[in-house]
Structure 1
Amino acid sequence: QELLLCNDLEKDIALYNEIDQAAAETDIMDLRTSLQSIQQTEASTTQKMEEIDQYINHELTDEKLTAFEAELEENPDLEAELRLVNDIDIAIQETEIMDLRAKLGSISKEINRQEKQKRSFAARFSASRIAVATVAASLILIFSIAGLVSKNRPSNDAELYSQFYSPYETTGIFRSGDALIDSKLTKALHQFNENNYQEAINLFSEVLEIDPNNPVSNFYSGMAYQETKKTDRALISYQSVVKDRDNLFVEQAQWYIGLCYLQNENRKKAYRQFTQIANSDSFYQPKAEAILKKIRYLE
């Protein structure tokens, strides 16, 4: 009878049903166990949460990566925290949990506004619901921690691009066997290193007039175009490198093609490109997996 007359009671029941459904999820129960385990363990890791997140996303420098993995082998607490952060990253992408979080927040606001509803809620909260309430609290804790872990996560394509993009360094001396090409190439790379991108593009173009398939000129032309936000031109240059195939810049070009799509806010093409890299044995395979994870987070 009260249910027929009281909309607030109906909302309470809907909330309980949502919590019961969430509590039945094995992943959430496992995550709750992990939370309790971590909370009961005295923290002994010297790594910051930001560093753990950088490790997951393959963003640590070689020196920091070596130090992190060395501690990971010796420190079970760090390993446990790493697993927990991975679990949280998975949990916060679940649509059902996001819906539940929204409903929890909505009901909570209504209870705060209505003192009568607050008393009614307390009266009906029986001992049999304590376990369910604990699960709800765990879910709220998940999102609190997730907020800290992902406070630096990108909110759009541009931020995601800036997080993963960095220009490819010019290392070594490239010899083609042609003195004229080598001379122009050396000057072009020097201009590129000085951030004189338009001058570098002009010099690379002179090389390409002599040798249209020159992989160094095509690749670094792409880099220079990308640095000057001429991503359509950059794509053409990178695609020439990939099409040639018989060179040392194919994997790099494939990676930067994906970043160009992201820079152009063409997320579908970016997703396909990074998926292709993630399914290969490319040097960029770990980074592709990391960026795919964040693209899915944006969606």
Structure 2
Amino acid sequence: MSASGGLPLESGELFVLIARLIADVDEVKTRYRAVSEELALAGIKAGRLGFLELGEKVAQISAEGADRVAFREILERHFAAPVGMIADHEIDLPNLFISDMDSTMIEQECIDELADFAGLKEKVSAITERAMQGELDFEDALKERVSLLKGLPETAISECLEQRISPMPGARMLVQTLKSKGCQTVLVTGGFHHFADPVAEQLGFEHVVGNRLAVAGGKLTGEVEGPIVDSSTKLAVLREEQAKISDCTVLASGDGANDIPMLEAANYGIAYKAKPKARAAASGWIDEGSLTSVLELLGIPESDWVQ
């Protein structure tokens, strides 16, 4: 596991470890002593237990140690928190938010829904699932799925957008609230501009990076136009945008294997209802509930949330 910002933890180096968990308050208070004892056995010195001023809903546990992975495993084992975040520094508000789109900012996988118009959803969805689990090369899987759409009318895209695509609960509020705090927002997706551009406009993202479906004569050609946006592209976009902002603190969100490098490189990498590999690689996880949980983990009071 990488440390904040993608830097490796050096052997023997101690960090202030901070965990924020949305968990049952009484459970956290009751079990904290046992957790402290187990942390000590792992060479981690437990510090203060507190609660953010959000109706005593978000627990914050500080500790001192070098093993962030053990810290997270112990906390998850004792509290089974469906929402949490681990950092090796005091948690600050991000000034760059970069996010995946499909199954993160929207509830669907666009290519799967588009394939349904061609009667191929089951076949395409199976490939998508394996790619997101990290079982298939993303670029090869994308090209294979797009090839199956050859001949589909371009008008099917607008129909799909209108009938099938919906924002993830809390997505717009997350983006708008972060923007109100001075955060730059970027939507970067292995999906397609035909979908990503209107989704970004609806949610409030300021910049979009994605793939392009090739179209000729009003029909899909079965090819992708230009370079493929994959995991390396997502990481490169993060680095590029990060370099533009002084003292940049990065929040990233995603759900699949192609999001892992981006999640690992961010100060706060949040895996939202993610595949196991992405969840394990991230520094934060949201297994249930809406994307407004990110705002709670960041300590932003509900009175500051923006529609």
What is the TM-score when the length of structure 1 is the normalising length? 0.28
Q: Which has the higher contact order (CA 8 A, sep 6+)?
A: 2
Higher strand share: 2
Q: Which structure has the greater CA radius of gyration? A: 1
